[in-house]
Amino acid sequence: MAMIEALNRISDTIWEIPVSYKQGMRVPARIYGTEKLIQELDDAVYEQITNVATLPGITKYALCMPDGHFGYGFPIGGVAAMDVEQGGVISPGGIGFDINCGMRLVVTNLTYDEVKPYVKKLVDRLYERVPAGVGSTGFVKISRNEFRKVVEEGAQWCIRNDYGWEEDLEMMEENGCIKGADSSKISEKAIDRGFNQIGTLGSGNHYLEIQVARPENIFDQELAKSLGITIPNQVVVMFHCGSRGFGHQVATDYLQIFLKVMESKYGIKILDRELACAPFDSPEGQDYFAAMKCGINMSFANRQVILHRIREVFSEILGRSPEDLGMHMVYDVAHNTAKLESHVVDGKERSLLVHRKGATRAFAPGMEDVPERYKNIGQPVIIGGSMETGSYLLVGVASGEQTFFSTAHGSGRTMSRTKARKIYRGDKLQKEMESRGIYVRSTSYSGLAEEAGGAYKDIDDVIEAAELAGISKRIARLTPIGNIKG
């Protein structure tokens, strides 16, 4: 509570910690959220976001999104833009270990009534075809050398190898392949951990979900139609996963490198070793940037192969081709990235390295990297809730400039996994969800317990805060009917 009193209330949804709060802060820290969300916030988030505000080159504010919670180095939900011409740094703690953990949304032309009889079959078959859990391996068998191509080419490698449709690429951030990935900058250990994991969900909060867009949950009919939500009670598929052990190893490798050179070579002192960093334009900073891009591309490829499997399963169970089922992508958004972007700050255009740790890019209508199909409406934003509640489809807005066009990425945890396991029982939860019309498969009951809805903030509160703050606009709420949990 004492920490809340230190906050300056800028608006109903923006709260600021001034530079006077902590020695070394270069910019104020801003936290987004309604009063309810701020009251619930873990004190460690304040500590972390004000530490971020001390990093060299940070511009304007250290930002925390409405789903913010304690993370490694940065809070999850942390956003920081570093001016690369003013000594700005790159920090793995500001990107995350699961590089380009992200969301993908696919529509169908099916209604809930048409799919309802097949939900269990679909979920069971998807559970077989999309491996989940710690250490799971995929069906794409490639050599270590071929994997190097995958991490440099991303989803483009998948399309070339018949894992998807050409049109899919346009519906991905970076068209599914971020330029500048260099596999010579990644370790053999990272390759060992990643080359057999393409097409796998992983564990933790990763999931694959069959959902319904119910008429009462459409907030803008016209924009929903433009995004592919065109019929009442339409069935869609959403999934959330990242770069698996590969991304984790890339982050681990470079954290060690940065800890060795940060102070001795570059004279950078930090308040928390989890914020280990290097100047962006240093050899170490550039090597990590190129390696981190490999993590981004691995993740795009991973989600592309998963989509290929989803289309196969729907086609097999429903007896129609994926094309006939209208299984088109809405979009694929990344979390856990650092990207070079041009932003106007104090009236001047500046080249900034925008770290988004558990935050989603949310570009406004007309911006350069928004797909042609969405130019007039803004970049689609996909925000996943807990498996019990629902998820959201939103779009970026012009007023998002205040957060370097970034928004929330999920509900945000309110309790640790350990605490959730003590409070919830996975087997009981599974039965309760089924009684509410959500059929769930998981690799373990303990993993299911960790992901109970009560372990997360209320997704509706998070989305309301994001919309009220003017950092994204909600279009539709999507409710689960079938779920596969990592």
**pLDDT, tens only, 16-30:** 999 999 999 999 999
* Three-state secondary structure call for residue 212: strand
Dist. CA 468–CA 472, nearest whole Å = 9
**pLDDT, tens only, 244-286:** 999 999 999 999 999 999 999 999 999 999 999 999 999 999 9
Burial 145-174 (b: 16+ CB within 10 A, else e): eebbbbbbbbbbbbbebebbbeebbebbbb
Give the angle 145-150-153 at the CA atoms, nearest 5°. Answer: 125
> What positions carry a catalytic annotation?
409
Residue in the structure block whose two tokens are 């570059």: 266
**pLDDT, tens only, 164-196:** 999 999 999 999 999 999 999 999 999 999 999
Q: What is the mean pLDDT of residues 315-325?
A: 98
Tell me: pLDDT of 1 over 50: no
Of 357, 371, 363, 452, nearest to 401 by C-alpha is 363
Query: Which residues make Cβ contacts (< 8 Å) with residue 253, sequence separation at least 6?
Result: 186, 187, 189, 190, 291
Of 388, 355, 358, 395, nearest to 66 by C-alpha is 358
**pTM score, whole prediction:** 0.96
DSSP-assigned letter for residue 176: G
Query: Percentage of residues in the chain with pLDDT exceeding 70?
Result: 99
Of 252, 233, 109, nearest to 193 by C-alpha is 252
What pLDDT score was predicted for residue 136? Answer: 82
Q: What is the mean pLDDT of residues 374-385?
A: 97
* Three-state secondary structure call for residue 171: coil
**pLDDT, tens only, 127-169:** 999 988 888 888 899 999 999 999 999 999 999 999 999 999 9
Tell me: pLDDT of 2 over 60: no
Of 148, 138, 139, 135, nearest to 193 by C-alpha is 135
* Extents of the domains making up the chain: 2-90+339-361
Helices first, then strands: H and E counts in the chain: 16, 19
